Structure 1
Amino acid sequence: MTSHADFVQPPRIASWLVNLFTPAEEAESILGDLLEEFCHLASKAGVPVARRWYWRQTLKTIAHLIRAGFRAAPLSTTAAVVGGFLLMRLLSGLPERAIFAVLQRYKVFDHHFNAYVLFASDGVAIGHVIALLFVGCMVGLAAKGREMVATTTLALILCAMMVAALVWISTHQPVDVAWMLWSCADPLAIVIGGAIVRTRRPAAKPLPLGA
Protein backbone atom coordinates (compact mmCIF):
# COMPACT_ATOMS: atom_id res chain seq x y z
CA MET A 1 0.00 0.00 0.00
CA THR A 2 1.32 3.44 -0.92
CA SER A 3 1.80 5.81 2.00
CA HIS A 4 0.50 9.35 2.11
CA ALA A 5 4.09 10.67 2.08
CA ASP A 6 4.56 9.28 -1.43
CA PHE A 7 2.07 11.83 -2.73
CA VAL A 8 3.53 14.83 -0.89
CA GLN A 9 5.56 17.34 -2.82
CA PRO A 10 8.34 19.35 -1.17
CA PRO A 11 7.72 23.10 -0.75
CA ARG A 12 7.41 24.52 -4.24
CA ILE A 13 9.05 27.85 -3.42
CA ALA A 14 12.01 26.10 -1.83
CA SER A 15 12.43 23.85 -4.88
CA TRP A 16 12.18 26.87 -7.16
CA LEU A 17 14.88 28.69 -5.19
CA VAL A 18 17.23 25.72 -5.35
CA ASN A 19 16.61 25.42 -9.08
CA LEU A 20 17.24 29.16 -9.47
CA PHE A 21 20.67 29.06 -7.84
CA THR A 22 21.80 25.71 -9.25
CA PRO A 23 23.78 25.45 -12.51
CA ALA A 24 21.64 23.84 -15.19
CA GLU A 25 23.87 20.77 -15.48
CA GLU A 26 23.62 20.07 -11.73
CA ALA A 27 20.00 20.96 -11.03
CA GLU A 28 18.52 17.55 -11.80
CA SER A 29 20.96 15.75 -9.51
CA ILE A 30 20.65 18.17 -6.59
CA LEU A 31 16.87 18.40 -6.74
CA GLY A 32 16.62 14.64 -7.10
CA ASP A 33 18.72 14.03 -3.98
CA LEU A 34 16.66 16.52 -1.99
CA LEU A 35 13.42 14.97 -3.20
CA GLU A 36 14.54 11.46 -2.31
CA GLU A 37 15.55 12.45 1.21
CA PHE A 38 12.36 14.49 1.63
CA CYS A 39 10.17 11.51 0.74
CA HIS A 40 12.11 9.24 3.08
CA LEU A 41 11.87 11.71 5.96
CA ALA A 42 8.18 12.38 5.31
CA SER A 43 7.39 8.66 5.53
CA LYS A 44 9.40 8.23 8.73
CA ALA A 45 8.88 11.45 10.70
CA GLY A 46 5.90 13.10 9.04
CA VAL A 47 5.36 15.76 6.42
CA PRO A 48 5.77 18.84 8.70
CA VAL A 49 9.18 17.62 9.84
CA ALA A 50 10.18 16.87 6.26
CA ARG A 51 9.09 20.31 5.08
CA ARG A 52 11.11 22.06 7.80
CA TRP A 53 14.11 19.93 6.90
CA TYR A 54 13.68 20.79 3.22
CA TRP A 55 13.69 24.52 3.94
CA ARG A 56 16.82 24.20 6.07
CA GLN A 57 18.54 22.23 3.33
CA THR A 58 17.42 24.79 0.77
CA LEU A 59 19.19 27.59 2.64
CA LYS A 60 22.30 25.47 3.16
CA THR A 61 22.33 24.43 -0.49
CA ILE A 62 21.98 28.01 -1.72
CA ALA A 63 24.82 29.18 0.54
CA HIS A 64 26.99 26.32 -0.73
CA LEU A 65 26.14 27.11 -4.36
CA ILE A 66 27.06 30.77 -3.90
CA ARG A 67 30.45 29.82 -2.46
CA ALA A 68 30.99 27.20 -5.15
CA GLY A 69 30.06 29.67 -7.87
CA PHE A 70 32.71 32.09 -6.70
CA ARG A 71 35.33 29.36 -6.46
CA ALA A 72 34.52 28.11 -9.96
CA ALA A 73 34.98 31.49 -11.65
CA PRO A 74 36.27 34.07 -9.17
CA LEU A 75 37.56 36.61 -11.67
CA SER A 76 34.55 36.80 -13.97
CA THR A 77 32.09 36.74 -11.07
CA THR A 78 33.98 39.49 -9.25
CA ALA A 79 34.13 41.52 -12.46
CA ALA A 80 30.35 41.22 -12.85
CA VAL A 81 29.80 42.32 -9.25
CA VAL A 82 32.21 45.26 -9.52
CA GLY A 83 30.69 46.29 -12.84
CA GLY A 84 27.23 46.12 -11.29
CA PHE A 85 28.35 48.24 -8.36
CA LEU A 86 29.79 50.89 -10.68
CA LEU A 87 26.64 50.85 -12.81
CA MET A 88 24.57 51.19 -9.65
CA ARG A 89 26.55 54.26 -8.63
CA LEU A 90 26.24 55.70 -12.13
CA LEU A 91 22.47 55.32 -12.17
CA SER A 92 21.88 56.28 -8.53
CA GLY A 93 20.79 59.85 -9.23
CA LEU A 94 19.33 59.36 -12.70
CA PRO A 95 15.69 58.66 -11.73
CA GLU A 96 15.56 61.73 -9.50
CA ARG A 97 17.08 64.00 -12.15
CA ALA A 98 14.77 62.65 -14.85
CA ILE A 99 11.61 62.99 -12.75
CA PHE A 100 12.38 66.52 -11.59
CA ALA A 101 13.27 67.55 -15.13
CA VAL A 102 9.82 66.43 -16.29
CA LEU A 103 8.10 68.08 -13.32
CA GLN A 104 9.82 71.37 -14.03
CA ARG A 105 9.29 71.12 -17.77
CA TYR A 106 5.52 70.83 -17.41
CA LYS A 107 5.26 73.10 -14.32
CA VAL A 108 3.54 70.39 -12.30
CA PHE A 109 4.28 72.21 -9.04
CA ASP A 110 2.17 75.20 -10.13
CA HIS A 111 -0.80 73.31 -11.54
CA HIS A 112 -0.91 69.90 -9.82
CA PHE A 113 0.75 70.18 -6.44
CA ASN A 114 -0.46 66.81 -5.13
CA ALA A 115 0.89 65.06 -8.21
CA TYR A 116 4.16 66.93 -7.75
CA VAL A 117 4.50 65.67 -4.18
CA LEU A 118 3.67 62.12 -5.25
CA PHE A 119 6.23 62.02 -8.04
CA ALA A 120 8.86 63.86 -6.00
CA SER A 121 8.63 61.32 -3.19
CA ASP A 122 7.28 57.91 -4.13
CA GLY A 123 8.00 58.42 -7.82
CA VAL A 124 11.70 58.93 -7.17
CA ALA A 125 11.81 55.89 -4.89
CA ILE A 126 10.06 53.70 -7.46
CA GLY A 127 12.36 54.97 -10.19
CA HIS A 128 15.35 54.08 -8.05
CA VAL A 129 14.06 50.54 -7.56
CA ILE A 130 13.49 50.17 -11.31
CA ALA A 131 17.06 51.36 -11.94
CA LEU A 132 18.39 48.70 -9.57
CA LEU A 133 16.23 46.09 -11.27
CA PHE A 134 18.00 47.07 -14.48
CA VAL A 135 21.36 46.76 -12.71
CA GLY A 136 20.44 43.26 -11.58
CA CYS A 137 19.54 42.28 -15.13
CA MET A 138 22.84 43.63 -16.46
CA VAL A 139 24.84 41.80 -13.80
CA GLY A 140 22.93 38.62 -14.58
CA LEU A 141 23.70 38.97 -18.27
CA ALA A 142 27.38 39.53 -17.53
CA ALA A 143 27.63 36.57 -15.15
CA LYS A 144 26.29 33.87 -17.43
CA GLY A 145 25.73 30.67 -15.49
CA ARG A 146 26.29 32.49 -12.18
CA GLU A 147 23.52 35.06 -12.40
CA MET A 148 22.22 34.51 -8.89
CA VAL A 149 25.68 34.26 -7.36
CA ALA A 150 26.70 37.65 -8.73
CA THR A 151 23.43 39.47 -8.05
CA THR A 152 23.08 38.04 -4.55
CA THR A 153 26.64 39.11 -3.75
CA LEU A 154 25.96 42.62 -5.01
CA ALA A 155 22.73 42.72 -3.01
CA LEU A 156 24.59 41.66 0.15
CA ILE A 157 27.16 44.40 -0.41
CA LEU A 158 24.34 46.91 -0.77
CA CYS A 159 22.73 45.56 2.42
CA ALA A 160 25.99 46.03 4.31
CA MET A 161 26.22 49.62 3.07
CA MET A 162 22.62 50.25 4.09
CA VAL A 163 23.20 48.87 7.59
CA ALA A 164 26.28 51.06 8.00
CA ALA A 165 24.32 54.10 6.80
CA LEU A 166 21.43 53.25 9.10
CA VAL A 167 23.72 52.98 12.11
CA TRP A 168 25.35 56.30 11.29
CA ILE A 169 22.02 58.07 10.70
CA SER A 170 20.47 56.68 13.88
CA THR A 171 23.25 58.25 15.93
CA HIS A 172 22.60 61.70 14.48
CA GLN A 173 18.86 61.91 13.82
CA PRO A 174 15.62 59.90 13.93
CA VAL A 175 15.39 57.19 11.29
CA ASP A 176 12.85 57.73 8.52
CA VAL A 177 10.81 54.51 8.47
CA ALA A 178 9.58 55.10 4.91
CA TRP A 179 13.16 55.55 3.71
CA MET A 180 14.17 52.36 5.48
CA LEU A 181 11.37 50.37 3.84
CA TRP A 182 12.17 51.69 0.38
CA SER A 183 15.85 50.92 0.97
CA CYS A 184 14.97 47.29 1.68
CA ALA A 185 13.50 47.09 -1.82
CA ASP A 186 16.82 48.03 -3.43
CA PRO A 187 18.79 44.79 -2.86
CA LEU A 188 15.64 42.79 -3.56
CA ALA A 189 15.32 44.50 -6.95
CA ILE A 190 18.90 43.51 -7.83
CA VAL A 191 18.24 39.86 -6.97
CA ILE A 192 14.96 39.89 -8.91
CA GLY A 193 16.82 41.26 -11.92
CA GLY A 194 19.23 38.35 -11.72
CA ALA A 195 16.34 35.92 -11.33
CA ILE A 196 14.66 37.32 -14.45
CA VAL A 197 17.79 36.69 -16.50
CA ARG A 198 18.33 33.28 -14.91
CA THR A 199 14.82 32.06 -15.66
CA ARG A 200 15.15 33.16 -19.29
CA ARG A 201 18.11 30.84 -19.71
CA PRO A 202 17.91 27.03 -19.89
CA ALA A 203 17.63 25.36 -16.50
CA ALA A 204 16.51 22.00 -15.27
CA LYS A 205 13.01 21.86 -13.87
CA PRO A 206 12.21 20.45 -10.42
CA LEU A 207 11.72 16.71 -10.70
CA PRO A 208 8.20 15.33 -10.37
CA LEU A 209 7.57 13.06 -7.42
CA GLY A 210 8.74 9.55 -8.10
CA ALA A 211 11.06 10.52 -10.96
Structure 2
Amino acid sequence: MEPVIATATEISPWALFLQADIVVKLVMLGLLMASVWSWAIIFERSRAIRRINREATQFEDWFWKAESLDALFEPATRATHPSARLFVSGMNEWRRSLARGRFDREGIRTRLASTTQVSIGREIDTLGDRLNILATIGAVAPFVGLFGTVWGIMRSFTAIAASQNTTLAVVAPGIAEALFATALGLFAAIPAVIGYNRLLHGVGRLEARLGAFAEEFQGLLGRQLDSMDSK
Protein backbone atom coordinates (compact mmCIF):
# COMPACT_ATOMS: atom_id res chain seq x y z
CA MET A 1 0.00 0.00 0.00
CA GLU A 2 1.47 3.35 -1.09
CA PRO A 3 1.73 6.07 1.55
CA VAL A 4 -0.68 8.95 1.10
CA ILE A 5 0.97 12.31 0.39
CA ALA A 6 -0.87 15.61 0.46
CA THR A 7 -1.12 17.46 -2.83
CA ALA A 8 0.29 20.95 -3.30
CA THR A 9 -3.12 22.50 -2.83
CA GLU A 10 -3.58 20.72 0.50
CA ILE A 11 -0.48 22.04 2.27
CA SER A 12 -1.89 23.43 5.52
CA PRO A 13 -1.10 22.49 9.14
CA TRP A 14 -4.34 20.54 9.54
CA ALA A 15 -4.02 18.80 6.17
CA LEU A 16 -0.37 17.91 6.86
CA PHE A 17 -1.37 16.41 10.19
CA LEU A 18 -4.20 14.36 8.69
CA GLN A 19 -2.03 13.07 5.85
CA ALA A 20 0.94 12.28 8.13
CA ASP A 21 2.11 8.82 9.05
CA ILE A 22 1.00 7.48 12.44
CA VAL A 23 4.53 7.93 13.82
CA VAL A 24 4.68 11.56 12.73
CA LYS A 25 1.17 12.14 14.08
CA LEU A 26 2.25 10.83 17.48
CA VAL A 27 5.30 13.11 17.38
CA MET A 28 3.13 16.12 16.53
CA LEU A 29 0.57 15.33 19.22
CA GLY A 30 3.32 14.80 21.78
CA LEU A 31 4.92 18.13 20.94
CA LEU A 32 1.59 19.95 21.12
CA MET A 33 0.92 18.40 24.53
CA ALA A 34 4.41 19.38 25.69
CA SER A 35 3.79 22.95 24.53
CA VAL A 36 0.47 23.15 26.40
CA TRP A 37 2.12 21.66 29.50
CA SER A 38 5.01 24.13 29.41
CA TRP A 39 2.67 27.13 28.99
CA ALA A 40 0.56 25.89 31.93
CA ILE A 41 3.68 25.68 34.11
CA ILE A 42 4.88 29.11 32.98
CA PHE A 43 1.56 30.81 33.79
CA GLU A 44 1.10 28.97 37.11
CA ARG A 45 4.64 29.55 38.38
CA SER A 46 4.63 33.18 37.22
CA ARG A 47 1.42 33.88 39.12
CA ALA A 48 2.79 32.09 42.18
CA ILE A 49 6.02 34.12 42.21
CA ARG A 50 4.14 37.43 41.78
CA ARG A 51 1.74 36.47 44.58
CA ILE A 52 4.56 35.44 46.92
CA ASN A 53 6.46 38.67 46.32
CA ARG A 54 3.33 40.71 46.97
CA GLU A 55 2.58 38.81 50.18
CA ALA A 56 6.22 39.03 51.26
CA THR A 57 6.07 42.82 50.95
CA GLN A 58 2.93 42.94 53.09
CA PHE A 59 4.38 40.59 55.70
CA GLU A 60 7.66 42.50 55.94
CA ASP A 61 5.67 45.70 56.53
CA TRP A 62 3.73 43.97 59.33
CA PHE A 63 6.98 42.55 60.70
CA TRP A 64 8.62 45.94 61.16
CA LYS A 65 5.45 47.60 62.43
CA ALA A 66 4.54 44.87 64.95
CA GLU A 67 4.78 45.74 68.62
CA SER A 68 6.52 42.44 69.34
CA LEU A 69 7.46 39.23 67.55
CA ASP A 70 5.12 37.26 69.81
CA ALA A 71 2.20 39.44 68.69
CA LEU A 72 3.01 38.63 65.06
CA PHE A 73 3.45 34.91 65.66
CA GLU A 74 -0.23 33.92 65.87
CA PRO A 75 -1.29 35.67 62.61
CA ALA A 76 1.81 34.25 60.89
CA THR A 77 0.82 30.67 61.74
CA ARG A 78 -2.32 31.12 59.64
CA ALA A 79 -0.45 32.50 56.62
CA THR A 80 0.68 30.25 53.79
CA HIS A 81 3.41 32.25 52.05
CA PRO A 82 7.16 31.53 52.47
CA SER A 83 8.04 34.62 54.53
CA ALA A 84 5.49 33.76 57.19
CA ARG A 85 6.52 30.09 57.27
CA LEU A 86 10.17 31.13 57.62
CA PHE A 87 9.22 33.43 60.51
CA VAL A 88 7.17 30.71 62.24
CA SER A 89 10.02 28.19 61.91
CA GLY A 90 12.47 30.65 63.43
CA MET A 91 10.12 31.59 66.26
CA ASN A 92 9.45 27.93 67.10
CA GLU A 93 13.20 27.31 67.37
CA TRP A 94 13.61 30.50 69.41
CA ARG A 95 10.91 29.45 71.87
CA ARG A 96 12.27 25.91 72.19
CA SER A 97 15.75 27.32 72.92
CA LEU A 98 14.44 29.70 75.60
CA ALA A 99 12.39 26.94 77.19
CA ARG A 100 15.59 25.11 78.13
CA GLY A 101 16.22 27.67 80.86
CA ARG A 102 19.88 28.38 80.03
CA PHE A 103 21.27 30.59 77.28
CA ASP A 104 23.87 29.25 74.92
CA ARG A 105 24.13 32.26 72.66
CA GLU A 106 26.26 30.67 69.97
CA GLY A 107 24.17 27.51 70.02
CA ILE A 108 20.93 29.46 69.68
CA ARG A 109 22.32 31.55 66.82
CA THR A 110 23.56 28.44 65.03
CA ARG A 111 20.23 26.66 65.38
CA LEU A 112 18.30 29.74 64.22
CA ALA A 113 20.52 30.08 61.15
CA SER A 114 20.13 26.39 60.36
CA THR A 115 16.35 26.49 60.82
CA THR A 116 15.86 29.51 58.59
CA GLN A 117 18.14 28.09 55.88
CA VAL A 118 16.25 24.80 55.90
CA SER A 119 12.98 26.73 55.63
CA ILE A 120 14.29 28.77 52.69
CA GLY A 121 15.55 25.65 50.94
CA ARG A 122 12.18 23.95 51.39
CA GLU A 123 10.29 26.92 49.95
CA ILE A 124 12.63 27.28 46.97
CA ASP A 125 12.41 23.55 46.23
CA THR A 126 8.63 23.81 46.23
CA LEU A 127 8.68 26.73 43.79
CA GLY A 128 11.25 25.14 41.52
CA ASP A 129 9.94 21.59 41.44
CA ARG A 130 8.40 22.02 37.93
CA LEU A 131 11.16 24.05 36.35
CA ASN A 132 13.02 20.85 35.47
CA ILE A 133 10.05 19.95 33.26
CA LEU A 134 10.53 23.17 31.29
CA ALA A 135 14.25 22.47 31.00
CA THR A 136 13.54 18.94 29.75
CA ILE A 137 10.98 20.12 27.18
CA GLY A 138 13.33 22.87 25.98
CA ALA A 139 16.19 20.40 25.54
CA VAL A 140 14.31 17.41 24.12
CA ALA A 141 11.53 18.92 21.97
CA PRO A 142 13.80 19.99 19.04
CA PHE A 143 15.22 16.48 18.78
CA VAL A 144 11.76 14.92 18.93
CA GLY A 145 10.71 17.27 16.12
CA LEU A 146 13.83 16.33 14.19
CA PHE A 147 12.95 12.66 14.59
CA GLY A 148 9.53 13.38 13.09
CA THR A 149 11.22 15.27 10.26
CA VAL A 150 13.59 12.41 9.43
CA TRP A 151 10.75 9.91 9.56
CA GLY A 152 8.57 12.07 7.33
CA ILE A 153 11.35 12.57 4.76
CA MET A 154 11.99 8.82 4.65
CA ARG A 155 8.29 8.29 4.04
CA SER A 156 8.31 10.98 1.33
CA PHE A 157 11.22 9.33 -0.46
CA THR A 158 9.39 6.02 -0.30
CA ALA A 159 6.38 7.63 -1.99
CA ILE A 160 8.62 9.19 -4.65
CA ALA A 161 10.21 5.83 -5.40
CA ALA A 162 6.80 4.16 -5.61
CA SER A 163 5.33 6.80 -7.95
CA GLN A 164 8.50 7.21 -10.07
CA ASN A 165 7.78 10.94 -10.07
CA THR A 166 10.21 13.54 -8.72
CA THR A 167 8.36 16.71 -9.65
CA LEU A 168 8.05 19.48 -7.04
CA ALA A 169 4.30 18.94 -6.80
CA VAL A 170 4.94 15.43 -5.52
CA VAL A 171 7.98 16.20 -3.35
CA ALA A 172 6.83 19.43 -1.69
CA PRO A 173 3.88 18.10 0.39
CA GLY A 174 5.94 15.32 1.96
CA ILE A 175 8.84 17.62 2.75
CA ALA A 176 6.41 20.18 4.19
CA GLU A 177 4.88 17.50 6.41
CA ALA A 178 8.33 16.56 7.67
CA LEU A 179 9.41 20.15 8.32
CA PHE A 180 6.12 20.82 10.10
CA ALA A 181 7.28 18.37 12.79
CA THR A 182 10.47 20.41 13.23
CA ALA A 183 8.43 23.61 13.51
CA LEU A 184 6.29 22.03 16.24
CA GLY A 185 9.46 21.00 18.09
CA LEU A 186 10.68 24.59 18.07
CA PHE A 187 7.18 25.80 18.98
CA ALA A 188 7.37 23.68 22.13
CA ALA A 189 11.04 24.28 22.93
CA ILE A 190 11.44 28.05 22.56
CA PRO A 191 8.75 29.12 25.10
CA ALA A 192 9.95 26.40 27.48
CA VAL A 193 13.55 27.67 27.40
CA ILE A 194 12.53 31.33 27.77
CA GLY A 195 10.06 30.48 30.53
CA TYR A 196 12.64 28.36 32.36
CA ASN A 197 15.22 31.16 32.35
CA ARG A 198 12.72 33.82 33.45
CA LEU A 199 11.25 31.67 36.21
CA LEU A 200 14.69 30.60 37.39
CA HIS A 201 15.62 34.27 37.64
CA GLY A 202 12.41 34.98 39.60
CA VAL A 203 13.04 32.08 41.98
CA GLY A 204 16.63 33.24 42.49
CA ARG A 205 15.50 36.76 43.37
CA LEU A 206 12.92 35.37 45.78
CA GLU A 207 15.57 33.18 47.42
CA ALA A 208 17.78 36.25 47.89
CA ARG A 209 14.84 38.16 49.35
CA LEU A 210 14.04 35.38 51.82
CA GLY A 211 17.72 35.17 52.73
CA ALA A 212 17.85 38.90 53.45
CA PHE A 213 14.70 38.69 55.58
CA ALA A 214 16.15 35.73 57.47
CA GLU A 215 19.33 37.70 58.21
CA GLU A 216 17.30 40.65 59.55
CA PHE A 217 15.11 38.31 61.61
CA GLN A 218 18.13 36.53 63.11
CA GLY A 219 19.77 39.87 63.85
CA LEU A 220 16.69 41.06 65.72
CA LEU A 221 16.55 37.85 67.78
CA GLY A 222 20.28 38.11 68.41
CA ARG A 223 19.88 41.61 69.83
CA GLN A 224 17.07 40.36 72.08
CA LEU A 225 19.34 37.55 73.23
CA ASP A 226 22.15 39.98 74.04
CA SER A 227 19.77 42.18 76.03
CA MET A 228 18.55 39.16 77.99
CA ASP A 229 22.12 38.15 78.85
CA SER A 230 22.95 41.65 80.06
CA LYS A 231 20.13 41.64 82.60
TM over 0.5: no
Instruction: Give TM-score, length-normalised by structure 2.
Output: 0.28
Structure in which a larger fraction of residues adopt helix = 2
Of structures 1 and 2, the one with the larger relative CO (CA 8 A, separation 6+) is 2
TM-score between the two structures when normalised by the length of structure 1? 0.31
